Amino acid sequence: MRYWVLENAANDYVQIHRAECERCMDGTKPQPGEWTGFEDYKSAMEHASRTGRPVLQCNICHPERFA
């Protein structure tokens, strides 16, 4: 399963999504910010944590439940 991290610098947060999420669409959905893809949840979470921004889990696809 693939995960995506959206880093939204303008609103000062990062959010983790599963690839099939309607808000992500495998990292292709236009959003304010930059998408970065990962093969596993652990790598996505490590990247998100390193940004120093608050880390949010998508409330649509709940990536933390599939870790």
**pLDDT given at position 38:** 97
Beta-strand pair 55-57/34-38: unpaired
- Quickly state the pLDDT bin for 67 (edges 50, 70, 90): confident
CA–centroid distance for 2 within its chain: 10
Q: What pLDDT, on the 0 to 100 scale, is given for residue 1?
A: 67
**pLDDT tens figures, 10-63:** 999 999 999 999 999 999 999 999 999 999 999 999 999 999 999 999 999 999
Query: How many whole angstroms separate alpha carbon 66 and alpha carbon 12?
Result: 25
Rounded to an integer, what distance in angstroms lies between the CA atom of residue 10 and that of residue 4?
A: 18
Sequence spans of domains, the chain: 3-66
The pTM score is: 0.93
Residues 44/4, Cβ–Cβ less than 8 Å: yes
